[in-house]
């Protein structure tokens, strides 16, 4: 049976260097599900969602421009 994510994306605490930020979110922490798929349930906000607050000392325009 094939995993819903299609391939192993993580292994326990080893997230393969992925962060919510590297996946296009403002913040939060991804986790690894039992089927070795990344869970983005704890990631927050994405570029273009209309939120205009500040994140970690950067304006969202700067966070989005870095991606």
pLDDT at 31: 92
CA–CA separation, 64 and 67 (whole Å): 5
pLDDT of 3-62, one tens digit each? 467 788 899 999 999 998 888 887 889 999 998 988 989 888 776 666 655 555 445 554
Predicted TM-score of the model (pTM): 0.63
| Residue span of the structural domain in which 47 resides | 1-67
pLDDT at 51: 60
Place of tokens 């570029």: 47
Cβ neighbours of residue 29 under 8 Å, at least 6 residues apart? 19, 20, 42, 43
Q: Tell me, what DSSP letter sits at residue 55? A: E
The structure tokens listed for 48 are 């273009």
pLDDT at 57: 47
pLDDT at 15: 92
Number of separate domains in the chain: 1
């Amino acid at each position: 049976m094939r995993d819903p994510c299609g391939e192993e994306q993580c292994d326990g605490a080893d997230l393969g260097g992925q962060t919510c930020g590297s996946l296009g979110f403002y913040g939060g922490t991804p986790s690894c599900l039992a089927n070795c798929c990344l869970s983005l349930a704890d990631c927050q906000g994405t570029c273009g969602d209309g939120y205009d607050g500040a994140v970690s000392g950067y304006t969202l325009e700067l966070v989005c421009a870095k991606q």
